[in-house]
Amino acid sequence: MKDRFHSRLSASTLLLTLLLSSSCSQVDSGKNPKPKIVETLLSSTRSWDGALYTYPDGQAKMTLLRIRVPKGFRTPVHTHPQPGLAYVVKGTLECVVTANKTLIAKAGQSFPTTYGNVPHYCENIGKEDGLIYVVYAGAEDLPVTVPAN
């Protein structure tokens, strides 16, 4: 179990590091380039609403999504059967579990996604179209999003 956990955690970390390394590196306009800097944007054992993460059974499968979110778009209510990490590149995203449990994430912020049987929706409440990257640590044949009943 721990080997599977470490394998998925390492894969998640690698994907996010590669994805974001270009935004974390800086080049001096002079002759000496500055070294690349790796910064941990998010590390979590729980979703933003407090649920403890566990991995689903089965063959591990990593998924990286680039989600374009039009201004004003709201997802249908849904759940995620596996843990995930999200990074907001552009826009302002509001995720709602209940009226008392909401998350607002702006460009440059990251958050651990909801997990398990937690129905929620997300909406781009910003003034521009949004762009979000999400990494899920799931299993083969397990969808990353399940419509709520």
Q: What CA–CA distance (Å, rounded) separates 118 from 122?
A: 13
More confident residue, 11 or 64: 64
Q: What is the pLDDT of residues 89-111, one digit of tens each?
A: 999 999 999 878 999 999 999 99
Is the whole-model pTM more than 0.85?
no
Give the phi and the psi of residue 135 in degrees, each rounded to 5.
Answer: -110, 130
**How far is CA 146 from its chain centroid?**
16
pLDDT at 4: 53
β-sheet bridge partners, residue 126: none
Domain ranges of the chain: 42-147
Which helix (H) or strand (E) covers residue 128, if one does?
none
Residue at 57: amino acid letter: D
Which fold would CATH assign to domain 42-147? Answer: Jelly Rolls (2.60.120)
**How far apart are alpha carbons 136 and 84 in whole angstroms?**
4
pLDDT digits 0-9 by tens, 15-46: 444 444 444 444 445 677 777 789 899 999 99
Answer with the residue of higher pLDDT: 22 or 57. Answer: 57
